[in-house]
């Protein structure tokens, strides 16, 4: 649905498509609530870095989730020009673009360094851009997420059977995989997940890693916190820019945006890996049990992952091309990593 945003906001970039370096201010809406501290800090750092790099010639005005567009409609509204840009996760579009999920995370797949290596050195980014081009959207990797938790559960998980019949907030490929074990995946925005757990609408939820999960408050209503995040060993956020707006920016402005996003991805990884211990200790103090999934559960999830990826590739040519690109790259990457491991 096309929004009437342009009639309520002044100075948006979609009306400033000249190729000269004239000052532009672009609307940027997040799919994630700013109440999640890491999201709030990251998006505002990106905004500040772009403004600094361009001497104020290109600025973004960030808006919280739901300000103009529902989170799951951000791509549509960026594509049709209602929004200049969006900050989101590629798995949100998996319903209409199955291969998009592969650009947020791959179950039992890459961590952040391997993901970035594939995108920038293995042809992944070109595939991502081609995938979104028919939607009039340019995707840019913008911010990284270290390996997530496996999820918050209101009941203890001791076997595969304990998952059967459960409803869980989980999206993308992870949701499809875990459904093979009897779980009903539920796609709800991050800002509505606490209520879902508190009311019993869902019995489990995954959101992110501990410092983000702290902001969400899940530890108040779910006391079992499981690892590893098999569904997202590493993940990326995306900056979506309307293709017409992007084409109207000066080359120096486009470079500033890409550089700010790359810098953010590196800084988030460097910071987040060492920041989780304190959050875990706080959860334990609040009565949360922090533990690993039973090996039986992880083995079943890995087998289901292989089935889901193979079936998805058979259904969708784009998915087949993207997963083949990643798997071919992975073989080359892993050979040297294994030789140099100690």
Output the six-digit token pair for 100: 């998009």
CA-based nearest residue to 216, from 289, 147, 156, 148: 148
Degrees, nearest 5: CA angle 215-217-222 = 145
Query: Which residues carry a binding-site annotation for substrate?
Result: 148, 169, 206, 232
Contact 176, 185 (CB under 8 A): yes
The strand pairing partners of 25, in sequence order, are 59
Q: Give the Cα separation of 185 and 179 in Å (integer).
A: 6
Give the SS3 label for residue 81. Answer: coil
Degrees, nearest 5: CA angle 39-187-140 = 45
Q: Give the Cα separation of 102 and 115 in Å (integer).
A: 10
Query: Which residues carry a binding-site annotation?
Result: 148, 169, 206-207, 232
Query: Which residues carry a binding-site annotation for Na(+)?
Result: 207
Output the six-digit token pair for 3: 């929004």
The strand pairing partners of 152, in sequence order, are 205, 225
């Amino acid at each position: 649905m096309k929004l009437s945003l342009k009639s309520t906001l002044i100075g948006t970039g979609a009306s400033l498509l000249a190729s000269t370096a004239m000052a532009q201010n672009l609307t940027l809406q997040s799919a994630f609530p700013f109440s999640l501290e890491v999201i709030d800090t990251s998006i505002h750092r990106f905004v500040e870095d772009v403004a600094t790099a361009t001497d104020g010639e290109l600025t973004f005005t960030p808006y919280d989730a739901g300000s103009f567009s529902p989170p799951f409609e951000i791509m549509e509204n960026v594509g049709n020009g209602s929004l200049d840009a969006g900050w989101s996760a590629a798995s949100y579009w998996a319903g209409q673009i199955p291969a998009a999920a592969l650009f947020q995370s791959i179950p039992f797949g890459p961590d952040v360094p391997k993901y970035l290596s594939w995108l920038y050195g293995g042809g992944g980014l070109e595939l991502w851009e081609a995938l979104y081009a028919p939607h009039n959207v340019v995707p840019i990797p913008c911010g990284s997420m270290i390996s997530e938790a496996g999820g918050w559960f209101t009941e203890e998980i001791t076997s595969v059977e304990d998952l059967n019949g459960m409803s869980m907030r989980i999206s993308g490929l992870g949701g499809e995989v875990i459904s093979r074990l009897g779980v009903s995946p539920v796609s709800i925005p991050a800002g509505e997940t606490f209520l879902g757990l508190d009311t019993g609408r869902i019995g489990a939820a995954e959101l992110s890693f501990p410092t983000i999960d702290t902001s969400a408050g899940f530890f108040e209503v779910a006391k079992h916190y499981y690892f590893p995040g098999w569904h997202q060993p590493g993940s990326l956020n995306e900056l979506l820019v309307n293709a017409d707006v992007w084409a109207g920016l000066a080359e120096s402005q486009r470079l500033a945006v890409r550089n700010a996003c790359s810098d953010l991805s590196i800084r988030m990884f460097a910071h987040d890996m060492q920041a989780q211990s304190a959050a875990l200790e706080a959860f334990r103090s609040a009565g949360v049990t922090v533990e690993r999934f039973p090996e039986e559960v992880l083995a079943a999830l890995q087998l289901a992952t292989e089935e889901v990826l193979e079936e998805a590739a058979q259904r969708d040519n784009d998915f087949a091309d993207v997963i083949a690109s990643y798997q071919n790259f992975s073989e080359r990457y892993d050979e040297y990593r294994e030789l140099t491991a100690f």
